[in-house]
């Protein structure tokens, strides 16, 4: 196994830069840079780092040694906490490059080694990637939970139950009970049904975990001039949209990213829905309709002089804008004024409540990727077949397929072809 090294903190000027070295030569590399023995395991020690060839001073910083197997990768790992100047980092990286049997790490290679050494399962690897990408609090909570094994444990728990069922089915094949034929399903059926119900409930989550990971879409819809762009600007607290009193100025879909109660939201202002005159505007209307159709939540806007809530569907938030002009606000409608800011707090509270209820962090670990969903569907389908079967060897084969589908999610079985896809998204140093 080769020894790899990389800058693990972000590149560029910074107070501190962290370099990681992993592999059998990690210890020797640290000794070569410091000219003395490695610090006690997992204890930070102040060291002077010099170029092993020329003896030139490179930096003074902290060194840590994590002996195998109690390290992130499961191999010997060395961490250098250097001053985060470009020349310092370049100098130490080039000194490492000149040491025998050391090479720069490929993207995601530290994490890949951690996976291959059984330190993380695939769902934990994905959780780690999501944690690094998390932009909002709810995303962070979900990613951290997954990185700490909540999904992996759920799936491995189901897989262990499947393996026990499989053992029963195989025992039946090897030692058939001649006197009671067809007894197998009577014995295994209830447990197969329980597993199936658990997986079905987990699948029936409305895509909540995936939505939280990717961000949800909120569309502002309504006829021209009711103040949709003005409302978007208010919510975004900056001038994101062009506001004009000439009907049909928002010709395309304009969006801002917001953090609503910890959930990442893309708020899209859409071209006014009306009989469009020009071709460009017609295209805008088409896109607006499509966007509104896809949105997870819609804000339907009307004003005292224009629009109504005919478009509104159950679950939409209904807004009457321009209440500063004086108008009656119907029941079930939130009265706002993008001009004065009146009612904006009510709108924000309503948004936070709806978004939080539907997409906030839930009590149970959730599916966060299509990959998991596919594996679970495959598993559930095999369980249905197993529950309907009567031949012991066919039941056993379906149970085996069900277990394998779960094993692929956590990376327990034949995942070679998946690994490149999963680790490709990692950057160097992870
Ligand atoms: P959109 O076409 O629905 O996006 O509407 P705009 O945001 O472009 O606004 C259309 C016109 O209504 C502009 O002249 C705005 O200044 C005006 N407007 C927007 N919100 C309000 C409001 O709350 N009160 C008043 N009086 N005028 C508003």
Q: Is the pLDDT of residue 275 over 60?
A: no
Token couple for 326:
């004086």
Q: Tens of pLDDT along 411-430?
A: 877 656 556 656 766 666 77
Is the beta carbon of 229 within 6 A of some atom in ligand 1? yes
Cα–Cα distance between 365 and 419 in angstroms, integer? 23
CA 316 to centroid of ligand 1, rounded, Å: 21
The answer to whether 76 and 68 are in contact (CB under 8 A) is yes
Whether 338 lines ligand 1, by a CB cut-off of 6 Å, is yes
Whole-angstrom Cα distance, residue 271 to residue 251? 5
- CA 293 to ligand 1 center in whole angstroms: 24
- The pLDDT assigned to 47 comes to 97
Shortest-distance atom of ligand 1 to CA 226 = 3
- The stretches of 204-278 forming alpha helices (DSSP H) are 208-214, 228-236
Share of the chain above pLDDT 90, in %: 63
* CA–CA dist 110, 115 (Å, integer): 9
Q: Which atom of ligand 1 is nearest to the CA of 249?
A: 2
Task: Give the domains, in start order, of the chain with CATH numbers.
Answer: 3-114 (3.30.1360.120), 137-205+370-426 (1.20.120.430), 214-359 (3.40.50.300)
> Is there an atom of ligand 1 within 6 Å of 242 CB?
no
Residue 297 Cα, ligand 1 centroid: separation in angstroms? 22
∠ CA 392-160-211, nearest 5°, is 115
Helix (H) or strand (E) holding 303: none
Q: 387 alpha carbon to ligand 1 midpoint, in Å? A: 61
Gap from CA of 225 to ligand 1 centroid (Å): 6
Please enumerate in sequence order all residues whose Cβ is within 8 A of that of 199, keeping only pairs 6 or more positions apart, or say none. 158, 376, 379, 380, 383
- C-alpha of 183 from chain center: 44
Q: Which atom of ligand 1 is nearest to the CA of 337?
A: 23
Question: If pLDDT is split at 50, 70 and 90, which confidence band does 382 have?
Answer: very high
What is residue 342's predicted lDDT score, i.e. its pLDDT?
A: 94
Whether 40 contacts 48, CB under 8 Å: no
CB atoms within 10 A of CB 141: 17
Q: What is the pLDDT of residue 171?
A: 75
Range from 67-81, 176-190, 359-373, 375-389 carrying the lowest mean pLDDT? 176-190
- The burial of 301, by beta-carbon neighbours within 10 Å (0-12 exposed, 13-18 middle, 19 or more buried), is given as buried
User: How many beta carbons lie within 10 A of that of residue 299, not counting itself?
Assistant: 28
Q: What is the pLDDT of residues 201-258, one digit of tens each?
A: 999 988 899 999 999 999 998 888 899 989 998 988 765 555 555 555 554 567 888 8
For ligand 1, the distance from its centroid to the CA atom of residue 275, given in whole angstroms, is 19
Which of the listed ranges 52-66, 223-237, 360-374 does the model predict with the highest average pLDDT? 52-66
Choose among 124, 196, 181: nearest CA to 376. 196
Radius of gyration of the chain (CA): 29
pLDDT of residue 276: 53
Residue 344: burial class (beta carbons within 10 Å; 0-12, 13-18, 19+)? middle
Mean pLDDT, rounded, for 375-379: 97
Mean pLDDT taken over the chain: 88
For the cut 50, the answer to whether the pLDDT of residue 180 exceeds it is no
> Which DSSP symbol is given to 269?
E
Cis amide prior to 69 (ω within 30 degrees): yes
For ligand 1, say whether the CB of 244 is within 6 Å of any of its atoms. Answer: yes
Nearest CA to 155 among 429, 306, 379?
A: 379
| pLDDT 10s digits, 81-128 | 999 999 999 999 999 999 999 999 999 999 999 999 999 999 999 999
For atom 2 of ligand 1, the residue with the nearest CA is 225
Per the model's pLDDT, the better-predicted residue between 279 and 389 turns out to be 389
Does any ligand 1 atom lie closer than 6 A to the CB of residue 270? no
Q: Is the pLDDT of residue 309 over 60?
A: yes
């Amino acid at each position: 196994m080769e020894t790899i090294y990389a800058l693990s903190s972000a590149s560029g000027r910074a107070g501190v830069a962290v370099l990681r070295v992993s592999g059998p030569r990690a210890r020797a590399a640290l000794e070569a840079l410091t000219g003395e023995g490695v610090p006690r395991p997992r204890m930070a020690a102040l060291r002077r780092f010099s170029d092993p060839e020329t003896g030139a001073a490179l930096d003074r910083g902290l060194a840590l040694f994590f002996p195998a197997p109690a390290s992130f990768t499961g191999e010997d790992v060395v961490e250098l906490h250097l001053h985060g100047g470009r020349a310092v980092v370049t100098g130490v990286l080039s000194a490492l490059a000149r040491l025998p049997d050391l090479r720069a790490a490929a993207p995601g290679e530290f994490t890949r080694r951690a996976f291959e050494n059984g330190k993380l399962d695939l769902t934990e690897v994905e959780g780690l990637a999501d944690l690094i990408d998390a932009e909002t609090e709810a995303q962070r909570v979900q990613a951290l939970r997954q990185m700490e094994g909540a999904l992996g444990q759920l799936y491995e728990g189901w897989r262990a139950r499947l393996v026990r069922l499989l053992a029963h089915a195989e025992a039946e094949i090897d030692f058939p009970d001649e006197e009671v034929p067809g007894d197998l399903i009577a014995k295994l059926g209830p447990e197969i049904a329980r597993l199936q119900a658990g997986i079905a409930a987990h699948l029936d989550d409305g895509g909540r975990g995936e939505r939280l990971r990717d961000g949800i879409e909120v569309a502002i819809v309504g006829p021209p001039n009711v103040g949709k762009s003005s409302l978007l600007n208010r919510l975004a607290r900056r001038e994101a949209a062009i506001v004009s009193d000439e009907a049909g100025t928002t010709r395309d879909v304009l969006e801002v990213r917001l953090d609503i109660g910890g959930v990442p939201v893309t708020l899209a202002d859409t071209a006014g829905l009306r009989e469009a005159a020009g071709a460009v505007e017609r295209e805008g209307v088409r896109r607006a309709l499509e966007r509104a159709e896809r949105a997870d939540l819609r804000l339907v806007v009307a004003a005292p002089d224009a629009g109504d809530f005919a478009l509104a569907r159950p679950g939409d938030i209904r807004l009457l804008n321009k209440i500063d002009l004086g108008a009656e606000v119907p029941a079930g409608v939130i009265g706002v004024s993008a001009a004065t800011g009146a009612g904006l707090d009510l709108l924000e509270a309503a948004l936070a409540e709806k978004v939080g209820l539907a997409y906030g962090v839930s009590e149970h670990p959730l599916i966060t990727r299509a990959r998991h969903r596919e594996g679970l569907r495959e598993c559930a389908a095999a369980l249905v077949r197993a529950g309907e079967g009567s031949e012991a060897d066919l039941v056993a084969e379906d149970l085996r397929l069900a277990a394998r589908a779960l094993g692929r999610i956590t990376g327990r079985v034949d995942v070679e072809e998946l690994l490149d896809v999963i680790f490709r998204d990692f950057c160097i140093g992870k």
